[in-house]
Structure 1
Amino acid sequence: MRNRLIPGSSGRVRAMTLLGTPVLHTPCEPVTDFGPELSRLVEDMFATMYAANGVGLAANQVGVGLRVFVYDCPDDEDVRHLGHVVNPRLVETGGEMFRGPEGCLSLPGLEAPTPRYDHAVVEGVRLDGTPVRIQGTGFFARCLQHECDHLDGGVYADHVTGRARRKLLKSIRKQPWGAGADALGPEAV
């Protein structure tokens, strides 16, 4: 197999944006240019996600305010889901709501119980503009919802409530990048 067929193999690892970085908290713009720069972005995003041991990565997590995310994520049956979506829209969620541990490459080293639906459907397009519809259950559904949240300017911590939220905010403030906690609202500072 040639390396070009492995996502990220020719990409460069980009710096990760952290909680509090404005691009992470701003809704991303739709992609309108499907040229080589978009292909390079997706390749770099895969390289960055793999270098950080992630299962998903949104473009604004590498400082680019465009509606794109990549994923290499198992579902609860350990089936691997690998791909990218340009201009994704979360069009359906359903099933049971589960509060499970969730982390984020932009809030490194932390996780908190976050409510997510057990089923999610995302529609968008591929790099070549062809339509794509991705359905996920379990952990992969959590990943799809998480990445779509990023593209809308949100982070998983926005969904954490009660004592778990207070504990997460306290942990954020202890991090070297914890000054970004104010991005989560007045109770975070």
Structure 2
Amino acid sequence: MAVRPIRVFGDPVLRAPSVQIDTIDEGTRALVADLLDTVALPGRAGVAAPQIGVGVRAFSYNIDGEIGYVLNPVLVAVSGEPELVGEGCLSVPGLWHDTLRHPHAVVHGIDLEGKPVILEGDGLMAQALQHETDHLDGKLYLDRLDPERRKRAMREVRESDWF
């Protein structure tokens, strides 16, 4: 339907926990279409509903050419020793910091028909699953940085031209 603008750090919708989707209606279908259109742009691995201004539990992903979505996702499992991986966020443009993430993750949710969806992956997919479910809980990847990296990142945010 439409590529939606991305909300950036400082917007309250990014810090509020998202609500469960109880009814799958035309509004939900339009949201999914917008999430899919928005994540399909080059260089995007995932877009959570709060990033386009909607405080509900939904996200889209674009990993290795596979584009999809999930409603009411819950991160049910992570495994492997957490490792530092380079990470950025559309809502914190221009910043890139090493973030601790597990190398494997599993998310359960539903699709637009209410059928169960299981997303599971390693590497970038695992990172995206963790990153996008964090968004739905009102967290940004900056919150996961160690204190010294976070201090440096917050200085970069304050000095950015978009803040």
TM-score bucket (shorter structure): over 0.9
TM-score (structure 2 length as normaliser) = 0.95
- Residue of structure 1 in register with 2:133 after alignment: 148
> Where do 5+ consecutive residues of structure 1 fail to align?
1-10, 75-79, 179-189
Higher helix share: 1
Kept after mapping to 2: 8 A contact 1:90/1:120: yes
Q: Report whether the alignment pairs 1:107 with 2:92.
A: yes
Aligned to 2:15: 25
Tell me the amino acid that sits aligned with residue 18 of structure 1: V
For the Cα contact (< 8 Å) 1:19–1:177, is it kept in 2? no
Max Rg structure: 1
Q: Distance in 1 between matches of 2:132 and 2:63?
A: 12
Question: Is 1:45 the counterpart of 2:46 in the alignment?
Answer: no
Measure how far apart 1:52 and its partner are.
6.4
The code of the aligned residue for 2:24 comes to F
Q: Counterparts in 2 of 1:24-173, with a 5 A limit? A: 24-51=14-41, 53-74=43-64, 80-173=65-158
Q: Which amino acid aligns with 2:76?
A: V
What's the secondary structure of 2:77's corresponding residue?
strand
The one-character-per-residue Cα deviations of 1:40-97 (angstroms, maximum 9, x if unpaired) are 11111122223363110000000000000000113xxxxx443111000000001121
* Residue segments in structure 2 that go unaligned for 5+ positions in a row: none
TM-score, normalisation: structure 1: 0.82
Deviations 1:14-65 (A, max 9, x none): 1211111111100000001201211111111122223363110000000000
> CA RMSD for the aligned pairs?
1.3
- The residue that corresponds to 2:4 in the other structure is 14
Aligned length: 163
Deviations 1:87-139 (A, max 9, x none): 00000001121101100010111111000000100000001100011111111
Identical amino acids, percent of aligned pairs: 40
